[in-house]
Amino acid sequence: MSEVMETLYESVLEGEKEETLECVQKALDEGIAPDKVLNEGMIAAMKEVGQLFEDGDYFVPEMLIAARAMQAGLEILRPKLVASGIEPVGKVVLGTVKGDLHDIGKNLVGMMLEGAGFDVLDLGTDVAPETFVEAITDDVDIIGLSALLTTTMPSMQATIKAIHEAGLKDKVKIMVGGAPVTTEYAQKINADGYAADAGQAAALATSFIE
């Protein structure tokens, strides 16, 4: 790996936003292909961030600053990727379910998904089941539902039911997460998967695509 790519990797890992911006630009100026900058410099670093979080070496603040550094670099990179015809690995529609206004966890999941190469459409918080249904277009692969309150968990079930009734369940994979959510609950409401944190969400989404 070239020196600039190694520095880019480390800057994302350490959450050094300004250095990440400089490295992305420098890598492009040196003629390194945009997809290589994305995959080897940024996505690889975010995978390590996810692993460090899993291992207990990183916590939410470290994960957040790394994700923000990656997102900053992505702003420079995105037009180059589009211009060179590089497609995202998949598209995820993300939202906190109806009745729930919490978004920190969801936002971090969105950042980690972007860091894994996904195009993310974030519907925000307090999202009604029909809004999720309307967002399922031909290019959407995954729906991500978040709930932080036990009282809003039934909204997850209602959303999955609405997707079923619209005849769209076979078109998308549905993953769920949030503090009160468990693997057992995910199975009970017919979700395709459960992620306990943002790193796991990115890994789960990637496994759906593979």
The per-residue pLDDT for range 113-129, each reduced to its tens digit, is 999 999 999 999 999 99
| pTM assigned to the model | 0.87
Angstrom distance (rounded) from CA 125 to CA 188: 23
Q: Which of 38, 32, 134 is nearest to 87 (CA)?
A: 38
Question: CATH 1.10.1240.10 spans which residues of the chain?
Answer: 3-83
Question: CATH 3.40.50.280 spans which residues of the chain?
Answer: 91-209
Q: Which of 84, 11, 55, 50 is nearest to 207 (CA)?
A: 50
Q: Which CATH number fits domain 91-209: 3.40.640.10, 3.40.50.280, 3.80.10.10, 3.30.70.20?
A: 3.40.50.280
Helix (H) / strand (E) element for 94: namely strand 91-96
User: Helix, strand or coil for residue 148?
Assistant: coil
Helices (DSSP H) in the chain: which residue ranges?
3-14, 17-29, 34-36, 44-54, 60-83, 104-115, 129-135, 153-165, 183-188, 198-209
- Rounded to 10 degrees, what is the CA torsion of 132, 133, 134, 140? 80
Q: pLDDT of 125-182, one tens digit each? A: 999 999 999 999 999 999 999 999 999 999 999 999 999 999 999 999 999 999 999 9
Angstrom distance (rounded) from CA 181 to CA 172: 20
Q: What pLDDT does residue 210 have?
A: 87
Say which CATH class 3-83 falls into. mainly alpha
Cα distances from 35 to residues 5, 79, 136, in angstroms, run: 12, 12, 27
